[in-house]
Amino acid sequence: MKALRNYLDTIKPNFKEGGKLSMFHSVFEGMETFLFVPNETSKSGVHIHDCSDSKRAMIMVVLALLPALLFGMYNVGYQHNLSIGAVDTGFCMTFIFGFLAVLPKIVVAYVVGLGIEFAVAQVKGHEIQEGFLVSGILIPMIVPIDTPLWMIAVATAFAVIFAKEVFGGTGYNVFNVALITRAVLFFGYPAAMSGDKVFVRTGDTFGLGAGQVVDGFSGATPLAQIATATTTDTQMVNIIGDPVTMMDMFIGLIPGSIGETSKLAILIGAAILLISGVASWKTMISVFIGGAFMTAVFNLFGTTAAMCMTPLDQLMLGGFAFGAVFMATDPVTSARTETGKYIYGFLVGTMTIIIRVLNPGYPEGMMLAILLLNVFAPLIDYYVVDANINRRIKRAVKSTNA
Amino acid sequence: MANVIKIRKGLDINLKGKASEVMLNGGKSGSYAIVPSCFNGITPKVIARVGDKVKAGSVLMVDKNHPEIKFVSPVSGEVTAVNRGEKRKVLNIIVKADATIESEDFGKKSVSSLKGEEVKEAILNAGIWPFIKQRPYDIVANSQDVPRDIYVSTYQSAPMAANCDFVIKGQEQDFQTGLDALTKLTTGKVYLGVKKGSAIKATGVEQVEVEGPHPAGNVSVLINQLKPINKGETVWVVKPADVIIIGRLFNKGVADFTRLVAVTGSQTTEQGYMQVIAGCEISSIIGGKMVAGSNRIISGDVLSGTKVDESGYLGAYDTQITVIPEGDDNHELFGWAMPRLGDFSVSRTYFSWMMGKDKEYAVDARIKGGKRALIMSGEYDRVFPMDILPEYLIKAVIAFDIDKMENLGIYEVAPEDFALCEFVDTSKIELQQIVRNGLDLLYKEMN
């Protein structure tokens, strides 16, 4: 540690202004603060600071995402084995298959996103911000397994530049960066983002797990089945035609985007976020309440399969839980006032169900609902702040009359 | 039964080095100083010349805009220096103290027989006026105003702050006289906030018990809970130690700035209280009482105090000295990824929350993170117990949108109210500085 510190101190002058490597000073600073807590002390104001910083907050989110990511990897392998009839493959091989299938996506997202982030930090001359640590791991988790890498690269680049950097970087963005990436993919390359061809990898990964797809295979997600159903009592089935049980949905052994399937893993993530206080329970719980409420309303009419789904099914399927826990709670793009968080969360939940139920073209509504509410978050906050202002004005009027 | 106000939002930071209720030796200072930068809203005009012989209570400088507001020497002796900085800004006026202190005689007076104007004049003449501050703007009170109410909070809830019960003990009479004098200055009431269970009792004032974590004892919180300040209203606030000084003026007829200072902090070798005179040298308080190493000396508490050198002087309003490690020699490897059991955090992102509330922390002065744009939401609200939206007020101040600032409650706050927000902020934004600058600019704009 001492040697490392000494080494950094020796090479530091090179990165200072006028040094021969000064063009990389942001990268150097980023690395230095990554390794060592900056020893800068306070100059004005409080003399002591809480030891929590944005790095820690971000790393907590990444930590909370890991269970869902790891399970997602396993599920990729599991669904693949199911599709080729190799159900007796061991746990390790199943996981390794999934790991190798998912890893390139993570690498691509991070390399592209962080590359842009580094470059922008360098040009603007500020420190590298850690916001993309979270976006970079979210992106691979919210895409289907068979989305091509180059598409992810293009969409990530677009999202980081046009949804974040042009607005001023982390903390200034209007939209959730990971969701913009998904939206770009979704509307730019719909064939690679939806349908029944992309959610289960039927081919091999780096030569592993080659095989013939079994008869009766269909890669449609449960939500897609509901969206295209013609009767109201459609039975959801897995990819080889067996019925999907509530347990399957909870554990997550169903086809879907990589990170979204396991409610158990998401629950663990939610616990980490809530205990550490990084995410707001107000937003989280309101999304679920909003979703359940809207489903119950649709149940009253119940003319299509989607309308007839029980609230529990709605909340357990697709990206609802994932979006509620990890995406709706993004502090930058969601409502920032405490009252606003309830309203924002509730509306995300209701919008998701409305999109799911009423638009068969989009079996999943979470992404669009959150992006839509990202736009409305400042408006919600505006009214909450306005209420505070009005209270103050009323008080002043009362006191002059008294 | 007295009113009880219960505050829920806030944060008590359990630091190492609290003052125990014992008297420490020391406080004999060779020289004393008036430091104009302690007093907000003042343009100093120096009256004294180098070489002048002064008594305790002799005028050293006045406010240029309000010449009736005088700043007096706390001791008798000789003016040895008027130090100036850039643009001839007065940094401080130094008085070398005599061995025995002689005081100007302002005459004993019975407050009950005086009119408001006479009380005001007496306080102005004795140079005690600058200890009365006003809201809005958190500046020295304008002597031409008549405030709506006057507030005194004896609940000092800041980390390791002096316990007012101990400070006032033995000075109850002066404290009461001081409060009586204040009641003459307002057409409204004098509100006295005390900590729940405190032994402090005063008559002729509205006494309110306050309970809860810091900043429950901040006078802004008291005002906001009792009767918030509306646009156009002015209230005054006085610190309890200064109420005693006002009381002494009437009971003894002298300007006696003697006060108790709490000596605290993890880098002090002994902690307790010391009797000093306002404006004394820092070294006279903590000389020989510091642990060796790179230390930060703070005149005041760790949240809203001022950084000083050992050769500096005690801040005019301060009743506490804190010494903590500077921490600039500490290079913590992968700190952001460590469990950090020994570091205090309000969030539970580190595991120190498992150590319980009784654990005392020795916190150093590092910022412990990079400065960022505002990312996390709701952090400030949790430690800000007023009906104000701190994040939006800060944004309005940064944008200097006067209408918004007024609407969001700028008149009700002082920089110290944002100290805890600044402490918990993961983006490490200097909120108190932002508020101070905003208040100063606003004052210029409105006057």
The ipTM estimated for the assembled molecules is 0.89
Residue of B nearest to A378 (CA): B392
Neighbours of B54 (CB within 10 A): 22
User: Where along chain B do the CATH 3.10.20 domains lie?
Assistant: 258-355
Burial of B63 per CB tally in 10 Å (0-12, 13-18, 19+): buried
Q: How many CB atoms lie within 10 A of CB B20?
A: 12
DSSP secondary structure, B369-393, as one string: S---SS-SSSTTGGG--SSS-HHHH
- In angstroms, the separation between the Cα of residue A286 and the nearest Cα of chain B is 16
Residue B218: which residues within 8 A CB-CB, separation 6 or more? B153, B157, B414, B416, B417
CB contact under 8 A, A35 and B334: yes
Nearest residue on chain B to A400, judged by CA atoms?
A: B230
Q: Smallest Cα–Cα separation from B162: which of B233, B97, B242, B96?
A: B242
Search chain B and give the residue with CA nearest A281. Answer: B378
Q: How far is A124 from chain B (nearest CA, A)?
A: 14
Domain boundaries, chain A: 54-206+238-277, 279-402
Give me the tens of pLDDT residue by residue for chain A, a chain 402 residues long.
Answer: 677 778 877 877 777 777 777 777 777 777 777 777 777 888 888 999 998 888 888 999 999 999 999 999 999 999 999 888 888 888 999 999 999 999 999 999 999 999 999 888 888 877 788 888 899 999 999 999 999 999 999 999 999 999 999 998 888 999 999 999 999 999 999 888 887 788 888 888 887 877 788 888 888 888 888 888 877 777 888 888 888 888 888 999 999 999 999 999 999 999 999 998 899 999 999 999 999 999 999 999 888 888 888 889 889 988 999 999 999 999 999 999 999 999 999 999 999 999 999 887 787 889 999 999 999 999 999 999 999 999 999 988 887 776
Among A5, A54, A337, beta carbon nearest to B372: A54
| Cα distance between residue A286 and residue A294, in whole Å | 12
Nearest-Cα residue of chain A relative to residue B326: A41
Is the Cβ pair B377, A331 closer than 8 Å?
yes
> Are A170 and B372 an interchain contact pair (Cβ–Cβ within 8 Å)?
yes
Question: Which residues lie across from B79 on neighbouring strands?
Answer: B95
Q: At A40, give phi and psi (nearest 5°).
A: -65, 135
Cβ separation B367–A42 shorter than 8 A:
yes
Tell me the pLDDT tens digit for each residue of B338-369. 777 778 888 887 877 777 778 888 898 988 88
Q: How many residues are present in chain A?
A: 402
Kindly indicate the confidence band of residue B400, based on its pLDDT and cuts at 50, 70 and 90: very high
B258-355 fold:
Ubiquitin-like (UB roll) (3.10.20)
Task: Please write the tens of the pLDDT for every residue from B25-60.
Answer: 988 899 999 999 999 999 999 999 999 999 999 999
pLDDT at B1: 44
Q: B187, B368, B382, B432: which to substitute to probe chain A, counting the most A Cβ within 10 Å? A: B368
The Cα B234–Cα B142 span in angstroms is: 10
How long, in residues, is chain B? 447
**B326–chain A Cβ distance below 8 A for any pair:** yes
pTM, rounded to two decimals: 0.91
